[in-house]
């Protein structure tokens, strides 16, 4: 079982780690420019896209769970049709986002409260990067489907290729053509469309035999469509609350001031880096949980979950120790602004707590996605946000300031993991027939 977990997890870890590394490269590029407003611009612009794309996260997560269960029950027809439905929704959604980019931009920057200079730079970033929407959402569908088919190697190839190209394009535009945050955005657009081409090539090269199952009448099967949207509706609501949590974090940072916004943006990269790494095991959880539920293998499902948590512990403790010992050194790679590094020092201990506190929630997300237990994910997210995250922050904000924001975020992650663990018997094991 460990071999199966690692076979799926390692390619996902490699691909996932490259994602925050690219974010760090983007921040490093603008972090070495003449003022910290460029960091704030990338943060605010990125927050808008987090809201948009995380809102479409159901395309990847829902596709993975349904595909994995179809794979476990050896239903190749439903596997192929799931991809077709998801991909069609993704491309259509991306085109729609481009068409309504002006209203999205007006609403987003009305709600955000950055300084005038930061907001102007963020607008330049937003109105360029939005053109990557069809490619980004199409890749969500392809990636989720490959994982559900127990293939994390292809998502690794796609993601690493996209991110390396993103670095090349961004470095060229920023350092060679003297562009600023808009150069980072343009690099993202070109890289995403290249990734979509790679993903489609891999599908048609290795899975084109499934095309014979894909017919227009089959795509419109009412029962399958109802299941797809039922699962994805709950994931969408759950994701909206997750988006709110991180949007709230960034927005409150901006309210405090440009310096805190820059500090929290940099420190949040440590959180994101670990989250993408542990998500490698979460993706393995999605694929294997769905497979064992589809095949009715309760014993394998139970062993899989037990071993996944062992890997979570073995991964999180070294990361916490690394962040504790070398967190400031890593920060120096992101910016050469010594004043900013100095101001970040009081908040570094939160970074060291991130891995050991957050890994259960990430792994349980993967287990629930594989089980398509979307209702349980939705309810625990709502509870954690409304009853823990927001109250903790506002109760402690007058006394702790920015520390209250970090404490609230950690409380939010702990409560998510705790309540999903309590629901696991009812929402996951009950599905094994």
pLDDT average, residue stretch 317-341: 81
Q: What is the mean pLDDT of residues 362-385?
A: 94
Q: What is the pLDDT of residue 230?
A: 77
Q: What is the pLDDT of residue 34?
A: 57
Structure confidence at residue 23 (pLDDT): 59
Confidence of residue 217 (pLDDT cuts 50, 70, 90): low
pLDDT(153) > 60: yes
Predicted TM-score (pTM) of the model is 0.83
Greatest mean pLDDT range, 113-127, 227-241, 409-423: 409-423
Which carries the bigger pLDDT value, residue 251 or residue 147?
Answer: 147
Contact yes or no for 375/366 (Cβ under 8 A): no
- If we measure between CA atoms, which residue out of 350, 159, 359 comes closest to residue 278? 359
For residues 391-402, average pLDDT: 93
CA distance 191 to 380: 35
31, pLDDT greater than 70: no
How large a percentage of the chain has pLDDT more than 90?
43
Confidence of residue 326 (pLDDT cuts 50, 70, 90): confident
3-state SS string for the chain = CHHHHHHHHHHHHHHHHHHHHHHHHHHHHHHCCCCCHHHHHHHHHHHHHHHHHHHCCHHHHHHHHHHHHHHHCCCHHHHHHHHHHHHHHHHHHHHHHHHCHHHHHHHHHHHCCCCHHHHHHHHHHHHHHHHHHHHHHHHHHHHHHHHHCCCCHHHHHHHHHHHHHHHHHHHHHHHHCCCCHHHHHHHHHHHHHHHHHHHHHHHHHHCHHHHHHCCHHHHCCHHHHHHHHHHHHHHHHHHHHHHHHHHHHHHHHHHHCHHHHHHHHHHHHHHHHHHHHHHHHHHHHHHHHHHHHHHCCHHHHHHHHHHHHHHHHHHHHHHHHHHHHHHHHHHHHHCCCHHHHHHHHHHHHHHHHHHHHHHHHHHHHHHHHHCCCHHHHHHHHHHHHHHHHHHHHHHHHHHHCHHHHHHHHHHHHHHHHHHHHHHHHHHCHHHCC
Query: Is residue 162 over pLDDT 70?
Result: yes
Q: Render pLDDT for 186-202 as a digit per residue (tens, 0 to 9).
A: 888 999 999 999 999 99
Closest CA to 171 of 157, 156, 190, 193: 190
Give the model's pLDDT for residue 138: 94
C-alpha 40/C-alpha 115 separation (Å) is 9
Q: What is the mean pLDDT of residues 203-208?
A: 92
Question: What is the per-residue pLDDT for 140?
Answer: 92
Q: For residue 18, name the pLDDT band (cuts at 50, 70, 90).
A: low
Model confidence band, residue 115 (pLDDT cutoffs 50, 70, 90): low
Query: How many distinct structural domains can be found in the chain?
Result: 1
Residue range 343-355: mean pLDDT, rounded: 90
**Residue 228 pLDDT grade (very low, low, confident, very high; cuts 50, 70, 90):** confident
Which phi and psi (to 5°) does residue 228 adopt? -60, -45
Query: Which pLDDT belongs to residue 368?
Result: 95
Q: Which of 364, 296, 370 is nearest to 67 (CA)?
A: 370
More confident: 147 or 117:
147
Q: Of 136-140, 268-272, 372-376, which gets the smallest average pLDDT?
A: 268-272
Cα–Cα distance for residue pair 108/366, rounded to 1 Å: 30
> Binning pLDDT at 50, 70 and 90, where does residue 111 land?
confident
22 pLDDT exceeds 70?
no
Write down the pLDDT at residue 415. 97
The proportion of the chain whose per-residue pLDDT surpasses 70, expressed as a percent, equals: 91
Nearest to 44 by CA among 206, 200, 264, 241: 264
The Cα–Cα gap between 367 and 65 comes to 9
Range of the domain at 305: 2-431
Looking at residue 62, its pLDDT comes to 87
27-41, 67-81, 284-298, 355-369, range with the lowest pLDDT: 27-41
Q: Which pLDDT tens digit goes with each residue over 246-262?
A: 889 988 988 888 788 88
């Amino acid at each position: 079982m460990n071999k199966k977990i690692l076979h799926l997890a390692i390619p996902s870890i490699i691909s996932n780690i490259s994602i925050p590394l690219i974010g760090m490269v983007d921040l490093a590029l603008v972090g070495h420019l003449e003022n910290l407003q460029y960091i704030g611009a990338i943060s605010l612009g990125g927050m808008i896209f987090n809201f948009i794309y995380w809102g479409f996260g159901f395309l990847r997560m829902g596709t993975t769970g349904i595909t994995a269960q179809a794979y476990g029950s050896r239903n190749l027809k439903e596997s192929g049709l799931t991809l077709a439905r998801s991909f069609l929704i993704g491309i259509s959604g991306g085109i729609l986002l481009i068409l309504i980019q002006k209203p999205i931009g007006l609403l987003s920057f009305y709600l955000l409260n950055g300084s005038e200079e930061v907001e102007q730079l963020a607008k330049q970033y937003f109105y360029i990067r939005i053109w990557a929407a069809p490619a980004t959402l199409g890749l969500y569908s392809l990636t989720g489907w490959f994982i559900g088919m127990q293939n994390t190697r292809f998502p690794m190839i796609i993601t690493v290729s996209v991110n390396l190209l993103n670095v090349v394009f961004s470095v060229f535009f920023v350092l060679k053509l003297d562009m600023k945050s808009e150069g980072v955005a343009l690099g993202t657009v070109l890289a995403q469309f290249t990734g979509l081409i790679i993903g489609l090539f891999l599908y048609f090269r290795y899975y084109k035999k499934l095309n014979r199952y894909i017919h227009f009448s089959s795509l419109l099967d009412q029962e399958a469509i109802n299941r797809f949207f039922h699962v994805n509706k709950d994931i969408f609501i759950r994701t909206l609350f997750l988006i709110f949590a991180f949007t709230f974090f960034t927005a409150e940072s901006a309210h405090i001031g440009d310096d805190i916004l820059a500090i929290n943006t940099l420190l949040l990269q440590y959180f994101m880096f670990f989250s993408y790494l542990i998500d490698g095991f979460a993706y393995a959880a999605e694929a294997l949980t769905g497979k064992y539920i589809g095949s009715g293998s309760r014993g394998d499902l139970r062993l899989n979950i037990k071993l996944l948590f062992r890997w979570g512990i073995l991964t999180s403790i070294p990361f916490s120790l690394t962040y504790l010992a070398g967190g400031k050194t890593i920060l120096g790679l992101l910016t050469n602004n010594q004043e900013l590094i100095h101001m970040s020092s009081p908040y570094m201990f939160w970074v060291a707590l991130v891995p050991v506190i957050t890994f259960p929630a990430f792994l349980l997300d993967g287990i629930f996605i594989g089980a398509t237990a979307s209702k349980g994910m939705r309810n625990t997210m709502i509870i954690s946000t409304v009853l823990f995250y927001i109250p903790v922050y506002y109760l402690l904000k007058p006394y702790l300031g920015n520390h209250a924001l970090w404490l609230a975020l950690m409380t939010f992650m702990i409560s998510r993991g705790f309540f999903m663990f309590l629901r696991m018997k009812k929402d996951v094991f009950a599905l094994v027939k």
